[in-house]
Amino acid sequence: MTGVNKPVLDNQSRINHLKSKQNILIMHQNIQHLSSRLDQFQINLEEIKPDILALSEHKMTDADIKYLNLSDYILRSHFSRSSTVGGGVMILAKKGVVSKDVSIPVMQEIVTDKEFECCLTEFTMSGYSFVLACVYRSPTNYNVGPFLSKLEILIEALSNSYSNVVITGDFNINVLKHDNVYKNFCSILQMYNMDYKINFPTRVTAKSKTAIDNFITNINNKQLLSGGIITSISDHDAQYLQIFGLKNTHTNNIKKTCRKFTNDNFYLFFKYL
């Protein structure tokens, strides 16, 4: 399933390499409460300089986000919990990066606190267009089945509308543990000609090493470089995806055994979840 993964190695060498390239650099970080880590995280961003930034578990309310000020970056989309605290996802990009709001009807049905948190933005850089989703699933939500079902609905909807799809975030699915959850996750990706790109630990504690943060995409591996950066901002490392060849080349979206979610069977699907 994996293609261009690079483990977390020499942090400074990795950062210098990323800064030397002219392409699209996307970074994901589980931030574990952005407001309390802004100053330190700003230093990370000044060093790494990602074009696009996806954050999970920002733990900010809609009211808090109105006052968010991250130098050189503009908020493009976000989700904050309405019924509980914590969690949340957001996408930011450097000033000058062209973006467009994304509105797909299924979002209103699949986005749920803790179970499936998600936001979307379409980007165009040097003529290359792609849609980016940032997702988060709480580890306290033990039933992964509904999350995987909603992830498939999201992938189906985005694949029908966009040639180039990137989904990142904290899935809380450990791709280093090849259990039934992993197999079901991979099966969904294969149906839509997508791969996951991170196959090394992204969260390391005294008791465990897990790869629960990831990038999944249908973009050709020849255009990609992925890896990790130790930011020391939380107990999750950051992950990056670099896209080369900034021209609007279309990937071969060969789907296998795809389900079609029309309006009618979409509501039937949720009725029996």
Looking at residues 111-126, what average pLDDT do you find? 96
Percent of the chain at pLDDT exceeding 90: 75
Predicted confidence band of residue 147 (pLDDT cuts 50, 70, 90):
very high
> Is residue 227 within 8 Å of 240, Cβ to Cβ?
yes
Instruction: Report strand pairing: 213-217 vs 195-196.
Output: antiparallel
Which of 81, 77, 237 lies closest to 170 in space, CA to CA? Answer: 237
Residues 6+ apart with CB under 8 A from 41: 29, 31, 34, 70, 231, 233
Determine the Cα–Cα distance for residues 138 and 148; give it in Å rounded to an integer: 13
The model carries a pTM of: 0.85
The single-letter code of the amino acid at 31 is I
Higher pLDDT, 265 or 228: 228
Cβ atoms within 10 A of the Cβ of 41, count? 20
Does domain 11-271 fall under CATH 3.60.10.10? My reply is yes
Condensed to tens digits (0 to 9), the pLDDT of residues 197-232 reads 999 999 999 999 999 999 999 999 999 999 999 999
Condensed to tens digits (0 to 9), the pLDDT of residues 70-90 reads 999 999 999 999 989 999 999
Determine the Cα–Cα distance for residues 157 and 216; give it in Å rounded to an integer: 15
Determine the Cα–Cα distance for residues 107 and 154; give it in Å rounded to an integer: 8
- pLDDT in the model for residue 18: 66
- pLDDT in the model for residue 16: 67
Looking at residues 127-139, what average pLDDT do you find? 97
- pLDDT in the model for residue 21: 58
> Is residue 231 within 8 Å of 29, Cβ to Cβ?
yes
What is the average pLDDT score of the chain?
Answer: 87
Predicted confidence band of residue 188 (pLDDT cuts 50, 70, 90):
very high
- pLDDT in the model for residue 142: 81
The single-letter code of the amino acid at 170 is D
Residues 6+ apart with CB under 8 A from 81: 61, 87, 88, 113, 114, 117
- pLDDT in the model for residue 20: 52
